């Protein structure tokens, strides 16, 4: 089923000053097809690149199918079909995000990177890397983290792509035909001693950094998004990725509460991959 006409780019945001303690029912989350544009902003050359679908893993739940073709027009400078929750950009303090993606068995490995989930400003600042991104390169899936303590503007020593820190954490060989459910607890800060970031993949803790820099000074609030985006070329004629809706929570949300809303709610932990 194709979504109702959304326009080429939907970039408006709904203001919200309410913090929540558990999974918020009014921002993000699963919504009927007719209400998608009320909850989410879509970034794609064509609204038909995002459709509602039945979970390919066989659970029967409704998920989203995103597509990008090599012939698509670029949106905000990149080839993409991804979406973010409206209203999240005003939130501060500890935040939880549930970001789930499924790689179909038709996925073909290619060295050109594909970003499938990320957290960062709605409009990237000066081309700086996102504070958090899940990236596929060839047959590998990895976690990329970007940050900088330098100011974003001024006359000297400002943050640039060249002087920003980027950490790449290998998460293993990409497996198709399965869900990757990432649960993120964040306290964003560009100041040493203040930031905190913990990331789980299907209940395994894959990254944990406390009292550390993990963002950029004075930048807009970080917002999660899922779907496909490409820093360069696709390298193939078409990419398809299935995603869940984005789940959001506040300081009292727990890992179990978040994962209970995702396609990985029955998954058990195996082993921690990364410190």
Predicted confidence (pLDDT) per residue in 158-183, tens digit = 888 888 888 999 999 999 999 999 99
User: pLDDT tens, 2-50?
Assistant: 554 444 333 333 333 333 346 766 678 999 999 999 999 999 999 999 9
User: Higher-confidence residue: 54 or 18?
Assistant: 54
Long-range interactions of 193-202: CB distance < 8 A, separation 24+ = 196/94, 197/132, 197/145, 199/132, 199/143, 200/255, 200/259, 201/171, 201/273, 202/264, 202/267, 202/269, 202/270
Rounded to two decimals, the pTM is 0.87
Burial (CB count <10 Å: 0-12, 13-18, 19+), residue 102: buried
* For residues 92-96, average pLDDT: 87
275 pLDDT higher than 60:
no
Residues in CB range of 96: below 8 A, 6 or more apart: 183, 184, 185, 186, 247, 248, 249, 250, 253, 258
Give the domains, in start order, of the chain with CATH numbers.
33-152+162-259 (2.60.120.200)
Cβ neighbors of 117 (< 8 A, separation 6 or more) are: 99, 101, 133, 134, 182, 224, 225, 226, 243
pLDDT number for residue 255: 94
């Amino acid at each position: 089923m194709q979504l109702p006409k959304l326009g080429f780019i939907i970039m408006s945001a709904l203001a919200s000053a309410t913090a929540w303690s558990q999974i918020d029912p009014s921002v993000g989350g699963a919504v009927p097809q007719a209400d998608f544009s009320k909850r989410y902003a879509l970034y794609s050359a064509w609204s038909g690149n995002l459709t509602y679908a039945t979970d390919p893993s066989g659970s029967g739940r409704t998920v989203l199918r995103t597509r990008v073709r090599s012939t698509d027009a670029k949106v905000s400078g990149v080839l993409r079909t991804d979406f973010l929750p409206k209203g999240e950009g005003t939130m501060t303090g500890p935040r939880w995000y549930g970001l789930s993606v499924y790689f179909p068995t038709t996925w073909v490995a290619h060295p050109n990177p594909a970003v499938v989930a990320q957290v960062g400003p709605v409009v990237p600042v000066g081309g700086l890397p996102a504070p958090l991104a899940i990236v596929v390169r060839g047959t590998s899936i990895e976690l990329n983290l970007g940050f900088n303590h330098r100011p974003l503007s001024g006359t000297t020593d400002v943050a640039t792509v060249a002087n920003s820190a980027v950490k790449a954490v290998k998460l293993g060989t990409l497996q198709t035909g399965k869900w990757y459910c990432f649960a993120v607890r964040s306290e964003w800060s560009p100041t040493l001693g203040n930031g905190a970031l913990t990331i789980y993949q299907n209940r395994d803790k894959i990254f944990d950094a406390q009292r550390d820099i993990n963002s950029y000074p004075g930048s807009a609030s970080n917002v999660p998004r899922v779907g496909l985006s490409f820093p360069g070329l696709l390298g193939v004629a078409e990419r398809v990725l299935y995603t869940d809706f984005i789940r959001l929570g506040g300081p009292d949300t727990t890992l179990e509460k978040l994962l209970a809303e995702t396609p990985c709610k029955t998954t058990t932990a195996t082993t921690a991959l990364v410190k």
